Structure 1
Amino acid sequence: MYQWKENKKEETQENLGGGTTTTTTYDYTREWSQDAIDSSDFKYPNDHQNPEMPFRNARFAASDAKLGGWTLDADTLGRVNYSQALKPGAPAGWTRSGDNYYRGDAAAPKVGDMRVRYVDLPSGTTISVLALESGDGFALFTTKNGYQVELAAVGNRSAAELIEGQRKAEALLTWILRGVGTLLMFLGFALFLAPLSTMASVIPIFGRIVGGAAALVSLAIAVPLSILVIAFAWLAYRPILGAGLILLAIAVGYGLWRWHK
């Protein structure tokens, strides 16, 4: 639905003699959103009212979907990351533009206008499934190490290809989480050192200098410490890689210390 969205911006300025002043400004833009935006939570809701959203995203699974002689349930179908646009006739009061259906003017939408898109996994699509046979369907199977597996993908793929695809996806997620962990560690040290910047901000230029130094110290601690945590986790499974990461952490920490010095 085309809706109002509130954007909040805060600017903090250091005061001469210490302390800070924070100024908060609000501006409102209109955009398409698949989630309902509650305008009653806005700072200034009077001129930015969003109507109730009449439709929400929905997913439907065919009850008689088949893969050869096996029945595919909603869970298995949901694992297939593929769809194509479905283009039925436009109902009364709606117009179609491209793959989307609009209730309102597609070229000049107003708040409350709707945009709907249909997608489906068409009949006849070749898919591959790696799972445990259960009756006339499929279910999760548990490996020796307790890992539960049920994989599905479009195309004629071998078990090795399905497993490799899942491994790459999980490896990417793991590195993203490691990056987030490093960022959180940096923010934690930065918050711990923040009082030093606050005390030095009695003279604004000193506050900025101390704040910059505190950020560098936080970075010098967070990066090698994060690498060490990752390295110790790897030691049990890949000792050579784990040992290499420990050496890397030491080198990074020493390099940052030398650079700061």
Structure 2
Amino acid sequence: MSFTETTRTSWLARLKNALIGAVIGIILVVVAIWALFWNEGRSIKAYRALTEGAGIVVSVSADEIAPSNEGKLIHVSGKVTPDGVPADPEFGISAHGAVAVLREVEMYQWVEKSESRSETKLGGSQETVTTYTYTKEWKSGRENSGDFRQPEGHENPELAVEDQSFAVDSARVGAFAVSGESVAALGTQTDLRLTEADVARAEQVLSGQVHLDRAGFYVGMNPAQSRVGDLRIRYSRSDLPEASFVAAQSEGWLEPFTASNGREIFLSAAGKASAAEMFDTAQAENTMIMWLIRVGGMIGLMVGFSLFFSILGVIADVVPVAGSLVRFGTGMVAFVLTVLVGPLVIAIGWFAYRPLLSIGLLLAGGLIAFAVVWLRRRAAGRPNAAPSAAQ
């Protein structure tokens, strides 16, 4: 099911939109520069905190809590015992021995997809042909059919129930206590099989017929013939036999440890892991985040500069061929500015947060450059060796 719509935008309207885009571009460039600079400080502080933690962490037995370690950064590995039973109170679904119960909800609903093709006309106006396609799909969450271009006949009902995770309030790692959220994310998920008694309780909560469907409920008339508004509700349990933590010992609890620079350290891993392995993993994650933000910041700069210069292409679109050439040129300018500004901001941030190391590197680089120049001059000043006598 689809329909096609043709819209025309005048040159003046496009010019107004381009002016707004230029302002947004400036804001985006400023935000990207700030993010790139901030990221250098964030990554350095995290690196220093983790390095400090790796040097002071104490590995302890999970069997007993030593008062002498109060407030210290400790590493502990042990059996995980949930305190209580995780349960979905709305449907009465529980899992004994698990650290969490997870509910996943999908609804059979209308989904809108669009594809546009634009053509610039002589004089700068633009004609856009957009094809809207509507299909029925199983999706998590709800597509807001009120925002569809053609909402009539494609209405999606409200979700009666949504995704949710239900963790135990706390758990034990040997003798130590830890929050339920900390262990729930580490567990291995497996399907939770439901019964007809669960169906009976669900029918009291949900309107419509409820059927057992693999690892959950099917809410609708007929699972073989899905209708818009039908639900698939799946349940899984999260189990965690053993876990390892690096955290502060605080009155029998494992809590985030505050390093000397104010950064918090709280590391966790499923199963047995040494303190060295956990710190190595944390450092690798910190490096990965640093590069992801760097890439994101560079993309932000490119988009921002492109938006800022887009008004030139719109002005030149009075003659469509000229507009295309101008856009190509401004795209190259935006790329060059991104390549120049991005690394420069990263370098400034790097130098700002590592002043002593930066000065040392500059001095070392200067000495190397001086030595190379001196050696070349010395070699150039030597007289050529006399030619050997003819044989």
TM-score bracket for the superposition, by shorter chain length: 0.7 to 0.9
Deviates more, 1:137-146 or 1:63-72: 63-72
- 2:167 corresponds in structure 1 to 61
Distance 1:41 1:199, change over 3 A: closer
- The 8 Å contact of residues 2 and 114 in structure 1, kept in 2 or not, is answered as yes
SS at match of 1:111: coil
Q: Distance in 2 between matches of 1:224 and 1:106?
A: 58
Larger radius of gyration: 2
Match of 1:158 in 2: 274
Q: Could you say which residue in structure 1 is the equivalent of 2:38?
A: none
**CA distance 1:190–1:63, shift in 2 (3 Å):** closer
Compared CA separation, residues 6 and 151, structure 1 to 2 (3 A): same
Where in structure 2 are there 5+ consecutive unaligned residues? 1-106, 200-209, 363-391
CA, structure 1 residues 108+152, in 2 after alignment: closer, same or farther (shift >3 Å)?
farther
Structure 2 equivalent of residue 252 of structure 1: none
Amino acid in the other structure paired with 1:94: H
Deviation of 1:220 (Å)? 1.1
Match of 1:31 in 2: 137
- The answer to whether 1:6 aligns with 2:112 is yes
For the Cα contact (< 8 Å) 1:2–1:112, is it kept in 2?
yes
Work out whether 1:109 is the aligned partner of 2:226: yes
Q: Are 2:308 and 1:220 equivalent residues in the alignment?
A: no
Answering whether residue 178 of structure 2 is matched by residue 72 of structure 1, we say yes
What SS class does the counterpart of residue 232 from structure 2 fall into?
Answer: strand
Given that 1:19 and 1:198 are in contact with CA atoms closer than 8 Å, whether structure 2 keeps it comes out as no
Alpha-carbon distance in 2 for matches of 1:85, 1:48: 35
Question: Of 227, 231, 236, which residue of structure 2 is paired with 1:119?
Answer: 236
Kindly indicate whether the alpha-carbon contact (under 8 Å) linking 1:83 and 1:119 is maintained by their aligned counterparts in 2: no
Report the CA distance between 1:35 and its aligned residue: 1.6
**Aligned amino acid, residue 83 of structure 1:** T
Give the 4+ runs in structure 1 shifted more than 6 A.
none
Residue 358 of structure 2: which of 225, 231, 239 is its match? 239
Cα separation, partners in 2 of 1:133 and 1:108, compared to 1, 3 Å: farther
**Percent of paired sites with the same residue:** 31
Total equivalences in the alignment? 240
How big is the shift at 1:200? 2.0
TM-score, normalisation: structure 2: 0.56
Match of 1:21 in 2: 127
Stretches of structure 1 lacking an aligned partner (at least 5 in a row): 244-261
- Equivalent residue for 1:89? 194
**Conservation of the 8 A alpha-carbon contact between 1:132 and 1:141:** yes
User: Map of 1:152-231 to 2, 5 A cutoff?
Assistant: 152-231=268-347
